[in-house]
Amino acid sequence: MAEANRPEIQLKINSRRGIGTGNIIHPVEIESSPTPFLAATTAGNQTQTPSPFREIKHFKKWFPWLIPSFVVADTVLFVITMYVNDCPKNTVSCVATFLGRLSFQPFKENPLLGPSSSTLEKMGALDVSKVVNDHQGWRLITCIWLHGGLFHLLANMLSLLVIGIRLEQEFGFIRIGLLYVISGFGGSLLSALFLQSNISVGASGAVFGLLGGMLSELITNWTIYANKMAALFTLVIIIVINLAVGILPHVDNFAHLGGFSSGFLLGFVFLMRPQFGWVSQRYTSSYSRVGPRPKYKTYQLVLWLISLILVVAGMIAGLVSLLRGVNLNDYCSWCHYMSCVPTSRWSCDTNPVSCMSEQTGNQYTLTCSNNGKNGTYWLNNPNSSQIRGLCSQLCR
């Protein structure tokens, strides 16, 4: 008989429309509604009983400060790199000379409007020979904070802001920071195992890690999304287009693939949401006749465990292989096409440039060892950086 007088429990669910992902229910924070007390009259006396109304609100929103900090850090490091580069001192001709010491290398040497390769190497670019032979493993991390040029920096930072801020708002700076850095490391690792003749820089591997995390987040939190297939199709198209750009020359698609794969696995580990039934029962179990519900669905826990094992095992195996000097091209003869597909319009030759030099007074004759081209220059006591810059222009 007591149960006949039990007040009815009502749940009010706030849902919102995610950017490009349809309606999403975010049942995390729960507060008592400020609904006025209900009045009941008994034997002429008025008594007040609180309403059992409860409101299930959105997941906690985080203030995004880490991703903008990454953008500022990358921009500052680019300015410092250009200052160290000092094009007017080390190169015969520069682009945007009005910038003085911050002016760019010639277009033939660096079409991205940036520093020389020797400067990038000095600042911490990924150089496999130094990682393996000189034990400079820190380059696997420092290279993701450097950029090859102004165009490179703008493209990566714009992508980072568009993708990263939304993720940091949803999941917080700790999880997204770890996802970004570990994905960048994974991208550097795969790049080092395949591209061992050139240096590599850029945050694109880490940015692709965020894209991979978005995809796995959609999969593992599938039940809280509306318009699931539309969201999945849109995200897959974006990823495919970005990876397709990587087959162009001078683009390190192995860093993209390594970062994306790492981020995809880490998304199952870091971005898993509690299911709605578990959240709602925490505040209605005293009135509910339904048994307790698990916090996560079984498939979420299975994906979490498998992904954690794969990402840890993959990172360890890749790092051990790199330090042993393994070149994965020796075991996969066609894999290089994943980073560059040669056509009649461009070449995929990644061999480092070198030149033969002959001096007669102030006259220097350089002959490119790669393509046989030669050029004559009149220089007054040139330094090694100037000679390397002229050689690089000649061999392009």
Burial of 196 (0-12, 13-18, 19+ CB in 10 A): buried
pLDDT digit string (tens) for 24-73? Answer: 434 444 344 444 444 444 444 444 444 333 434 456 789 999 999 999 99
The pLDDT of residue 227 is 81
Is residue 102 over pLDDT 70? Answer: yes
Least confident of 14-23, 322-331, 364-373: 14-23
pLDDT tens per residue across span 121-131: 999 999 999 99
Q: Which residue has the tokens 């039990």?
A: 6
Name the amino acid, one letter, at 211: L
Task: Name the active-site residue from 183, 204, 339, 392.
Answer: 204
Structure tokens at 281: 């029962």
204 carries an active-site annotation: yes
Task: Answer with the residue of higher pLDDT: 331 or 15.
Answer: 331
Provide the CB-side half-sphere exposure for 326 (13 A, CA): 15
Dihedral, CA atoms, 229, 12, 30, 210, nearest 10 degrees?
10
Structure confidence at residue 351 as a pLDDT band (50, 70, 90): low
pLDDT of residue 19: 40
290 pLDDT band, cuts 50/70/90, is low
pLDDT of residue 136 exceeding 60, the answer is yes
Residue 355's closest CA among 374, 328, 379, 380?
A: 374
| Residue 284: both structure tokens together | 């209605």
Q: What is the mean pLDDT of residues 316-322?
A: 96
Q: Is 336 an annotated catalytic residue?
A: no
Is the model more confident about 262 or about 16? Answer: 262
Pick the catalytic residue from 26, 147, 152, 256.
Answer: 256
For residue 74, pLDDT over 90 is answered with yes
Please report the pLDDT score of residue 382 as a whole number. 76
